[in-house]
Structure 1
């Protein structure tokens, strides 16, 4: 059941990332919170998503997270 919960949380994070991209606001706190949330995931392989966020590439992170959900 934990994996299903993580999938639902990941879908919410995708929406947050999309809003971040649309807003054009560059806020390190939001990126840091996304990273912290992703690190808590145990059932999903989100290393590439976190790596993209460390590079402050939220668009790529969103794409990587979508790939994780499709696999």
Structure 2
């Protein structure tokens, strides 16, 4: 399973026990054959991600009681 945390500067991936980071520019060119389960806080990438068939948005599956909009729970 490939997990991805997309921020405003980087996209961080966890692939089994392997961790790697891509800049947003690199992320926009990233191609992969497997599904990518992601959390995104980058407003500029929302439309791009909606058009990617292999990218699965995890946000609808979580609800945190916080004053922050979206999944910026780390704030």
| TM-score when normalising by structure 1 | 0.32
| TM-score when normalising by structure 2 | 0.31
* Greater per-residue helix proportion: 1
* Greater per-residue strand proportion: 2
Report the structure number with the largest CA radius of gyration.
Answer: 2
**Which structure ranks higher in relative contact order (CA pairs < 8 Å, sequence separation ≥ 6)?**
1
